[in-house]
Amino acid sequence: MAYEVLARKWRPQQFADVVGQDHVTQTLQNAIKANRIAHAYLFVGPRGTGKTSMARLFAKALNCATGPTVTPCGACDSCREITSGTSMDVLEIDGASNNGVEQVRELRDNVKFAPTHGKYKIYIIDEVHMLSQGAFNALLKTLEEPPAHVKFFFATTEVHKVLPTIVSRCQRFDLRRIPTALIIERLNLIAAEEKITLDADAALAIARGAEGGLRDAESAMDQLIAFRGDTITEADVLSVFGLVSRETLETLATAVLTGDVGRIVGIIADLDAGGKDMQRLVLELLDHFRALLIYECAPEASATLDVMASQLESLKKQAELARPDRLIRIAEALSQAEDRMRYALSRRTLVETALIRCAKATTVSVDDLLKRLDSIRQSLGVPAAPVSAETPAPKAIPAPAPAVISAPASAAIRPPALISPANELERLTEKWRDQIVERVKRTVALAGAVLMDARPLAVEETRVIVGFDPEFGKVGIEKMKIPQYHKAVQGALGQFLKRTVNVEFKLIEARGQSDVPADHTVDQEGSPSGAKPRPKTRQEWQQVPVVNKTLEFFNGSIIDIRE
């Protein structure tokens, strides 16, 4: 007798044999008992979850000699023929290779003939989404009003490709991915019947690799039996399918949470040398951190996680190492790495950099940050700022590393309303070309070119005066009368000053004459009259007491000075 693979040998023969699809089997059995059998059914779900097996089992229940029945005998001619695929009344059609209009027309012509010896003539079309649009349209009328003796069972992994007019004529059943625990249970049953010694960790590794598909798990076990004989260990599964052991996965996750970069690099090097699939590793890490996040944020929902009891113990230990906000950032970084994996020249480098970035990502709660700032204020003799209890702060925020210090108008931080017009004029003059002119260029290129010959003369609460060089100023002022030009300049100034302002253009009569009102005078060095000189370099800023104390407390450094 020819050898029969495990996936076929262990195909369900009764509704009770179906694994993990109770919501479908219960509905079909109730329909049979109530004699409410529809003319068309659509089975949807991932590969290996039992779509075609469910269709065959349903056909057997309808055409059994004792049927329709929820427990087909399996011994009558009809049951045996359906099981072996030789029944004249149950026709299985591959939608991928019979997807043309001519094949559907032939099917439509044959449905009028009565079944040979069963009660129904049943058409099972696998991968129905592969039918062409013309084939779908040719099937529509027959599918909606078939003869009483005809039933249609469709199966597909991509239901979005099936025409809505086809779906609306069927009863749809969505099959789920099978939980890991149920796959392990079925593998252990098969191993016991086949006299195979299957290690518990090996069964878990096979179930992980199957990704919710029982057929994939059975096929993998078949391959492992051919590889190792009647004893299968976890090492065998990992070596054949390029998977990473659960212990290694948990060790790597712990290294990320504790910031142990050396450990991370060492593990990745070993996995790469062993030929492990880096993309699969990222996906499993992402799934692990997702489970860890759910366990920490909602421990009562941990029962819904597709993990074993031993894995829950590991999650419990790792939950003490990181806060939810950091786990979210790790998950986002891994998701980005997985998206880029298919285009990466070196997958190992991409995984290493992503995990190192995750390991270095630190967060600090707002409460801790406020306490540290208060301690700095107290050490400098500055009273602590009151914090309103009515506005709850977020649970945690990322800690900036390294520090970026933004330069205020003076050493003491003041509200924008207290910044003097002269000080604003100084800032505007300094950033005129870099920020105002360039911003206008991005909006209206010609307006930015005209503005190169201008400079700010005065800044008031609601008005900015801009002067043009006397040599070409008249032309510039005329061009700025164009509404599009004027609006672009006004918008750029408003964004820079953080308020709405009007802009006026004037001609500078003589070089150096600013035409500025008296309250906007500027001293000979270009600084506002009476203003204290402010730091400019990094060294000068580090001498400011509050800046120096903050850098020292957070172990930070100044990398940029912005105004």
pLDDT in tens, 535-563: 767 677 777 777 777 776 666 777 767 65
User: Nearest CA to 319 among 283, 294, 282, 356?
Assistant: 294
Looking at domain 180-241, its CATH class is mainly alpha
The token pair at 201 is: 């960790």
**Are 14 and 28 in contact, with CB atoms under 8 Å apart?**
no
Any residues with CB less than 8 A from the CB of 474 and at least 6 apart, and which? Answer: 468, 507
pLDDT in tens, 461-506: 888 898 887 766 777 888 888 888 888 888 888 888 888 888 888 8
Task: State the Cα–Cα distance between residues 40 and 144, nearest whole angstrom.
Answer: 8
Instruction: Calculate the CA dihedral of residues 309, 329, 358, 374 and round it to 10 degrees.
Output: -110
pLDDT value of residue 292: 85
Domain with CATH 1.10.8.60 in the chain: 180-241
Kindly give the interhelix angle for 200-210 and 180-193, rounded to the nearest 10 degrees.
Answer: 120
Domain with CATH 3.40.50.300 in the chain: 6-174
Task: State the Cα–Cα distance between residues 352 and 349, nearest whole angstrom.
Answer: 5
pLDDT at 521 over 90: no
User: Nearest CA to 125 among 142, 107, 112?
Assistant: 107
Q: Could you give the angle at the alpha carbon of 242 between the alpha carbons of 241 and 243, nearest 5°?
A: 95
Residue 63 burial (CB < 10 Å; 0-12/13-18/19+)?
Answer: buried
pLDDT value of residue 530: 43
Domain with CATH 1.20.272.10 in the chain: 246-361
- Please give the helix or strand (H or E) that residue 542 lies within, else none: helix 538-542
Quote the strand ranges of 135-269, DSSP E: 150-156, 171-174, 197-198, 231-232
Task: State the Cα–Cα distance between residues 345 and 278, nearest whole angstrom.
Answer: 12
pLDDT in tens, 344-398: 788 888 888 889 988 886 555 555 666 667 777 676 665 555 544 444 444 444 4
Query: Which range has highest mean pLDDT (291-300, 363-372, 453-462, 504-513)?
Result: 453-462
Task: State the Cα–Cα distance between residues 463 and 460, nearest whole angstrom.
Answer: 5
408 or 240, greater pLDDT: 240
516 three-state secondary structure: coil
* β-strands 454-459, 463-468 pairing: antiparallel
User: Nearest CA to 431 among 371, 474, 363, 492?
Assistant: 492
Give the range among 165-174, 195-204, 524-533 with minimum mean pLDDT: 524-533
Chain centroid, CA 513 distance in Å: 59
pLDDT at 298 over 80: no
Q: How far apart are the first and last CA of the chain?
A: 85
pLDDT value of residue 61: 92
pLDDT value of residue 555: 64
**Are 292 and 318 in contact, with CB atoms under 8 Å apart?**
yes
Q: How big, in percent rounded to 5, are the helix, strand and coil portions of the chain?
A: 55, 10, 35
Give the range among 203-207, 386-390, 520-524 with minimum mean pLDDT: 520-524
83-112 b/e (C-beta count within 10 Å ≥ 16 → b): beeebebbebbebeebbebebbeebeeeee
Domain with CATH 3.30.300.180 in the chain: 417-517
* CB count in 10 Å sphere of residue 25: 22
Task: State the Cα–Cα distance between residues 172 and 42, nearest whole angstrom.
Answer: 5
Looking at domain 417-517, its CATH class is alpha beta
User: Nearest CA to 407 among 303, 236, 538?
Assistant: 538
pLDDT value of residue 404: 41
φ, ψ for residue 512 (rounded to 5)? 95, -15
Fold of the domain built from segment(s) 6-174? Rossmann fold (3.40.50)
Multiple choice CATH, 246-361, 3.20.20.70, 2.30.30.90, 3.40.50.300, 1.20.272.10: 1.20.272.10
